[in-house]
Structure 1
Amino acid sequence: MNQPQHEYLVVSRGQWDEKASREDVQRAIDQFYAWYEGHLAAGRMMPGSRLAPEGKLVAHGLVTDGPFAETKEIVGGYWFIVATSLEEAAELAAQNPCLAFGLTLEIRPLDAERARATDITNETPPPWRQR
């Protein structure tokens, strides 16, 4: 029996290792796109995109230039993995050739449920977590 497939967001973070050569990084990028496109064709991934460096930060009714993040937290792009479990998605993501050159990947399951203030979520402040 086939296990149900779920979608997982992959967030690419960080910057290239400055000690690596541009040629080695480009080779990893080229290998990444071959790997990525193969998995897209096989239905194991869904398209994402690189993110442009400019952006806006919106909070409390204010709009400012951004994004504002530490170098290790800079989000460079995203895509999706289709897998039966978070572990399977992470194993697939771990094969990304760009990991050898300073990037990190965050794998997150998508939650199709509508948000409710009574649920414990990423946005829940610590005092609310006490039941």
Structure 2
Amino acid sequence: MKEFLLLIRENADYGNVSVQDMQADIQAHIEWVETLVASGNFREGNPLEAKGITLKNGLVTDGPYVEMKECISGYYILLADSLEQATIRVKDCPDFRTGATLELREIINTDE
């Protein structure tokens, strides 16, 4: 199977949600990941901290997306035979309910 990186792009204020909404989102992700595990399409995934840095031409700037309205809030590494198969698996990602944009890309295996 090939590996695919799924990046979750959400509104930059994704960390400013109620505790109840956050718990509901976490539960939705747990259930979604359980379906991916059951189908053999899950390798790993984690949320990302909102704070970070950006490096461009060797220079460090504050926060990765200070002037942008969206940021990368998390990632998954999925397993699938093709981009088309991975796309089918991603179509029911719970982040679509909150307006997120997902980016799915094959990881090039440099060990071959």
* Structure with greater strand share of residues: 2
Q: Distance in 2 between matches of 1:41 and 1:96?
A: 15
- Superposed CA deviations along residues 42-77 of structure 1, whole A, max 9, x for unmatched, are 5311112111011111122212212026224x1000
Alignment match, 2:54 = 57
Q: 1: distance between equivalents of 2:57 and 2:42?
A: 35
Counterparts of residues 1-131 of structure 1 (less than 5 Å): 5-15=1-11, 26-40=23-37, 42-68=39-65, 70-72=68-70, 74-113=71-110
More relative contact order in 1 or in 2 (CA 8 Å, sep 6+)?
A: 2
The structure having more radius of gyration, on CA atoms, is 1
TM-score, normalised via structure 2 length:
0.77
The Cα offsets for residues 14-52 of structure 1, whole Å up to 9 and x where unpaired, read as 139x9xx95567434412211213423553111121110
Give unmatched runs, 5+ long, in structure 1: 115-131
The count of residues paired between Structure 1 and Structure 2 equals: 106
Per mean C-alpha deviation after superposition, the further-off stretch among 35-44 and 101-110 is: 35-44
Q: Percent identity?
A: 31
Question: Normalising to structure 1: TM-score of the pair?
Answer: 0.67
Question: CA 1:49–1:82 in structure 2 vs 1: closer, same or farther (change >3 Å)?
Answer: same
Q: Secondary structure at the match of 1:14?
A: strand
Kept in 2, the 8 Å contact 1:29–1:98? The answer is no
Shift of 1:88: 0.8
How far apart are the structure 2 equivalents of 1:61 and 1:88?
38
Taking only aligned residues, the RMSD between alpha carbons, in angstroms, comes to 2.6
Q: Which runs of 4+ in 1 moved over 4 A?
A: 21-26
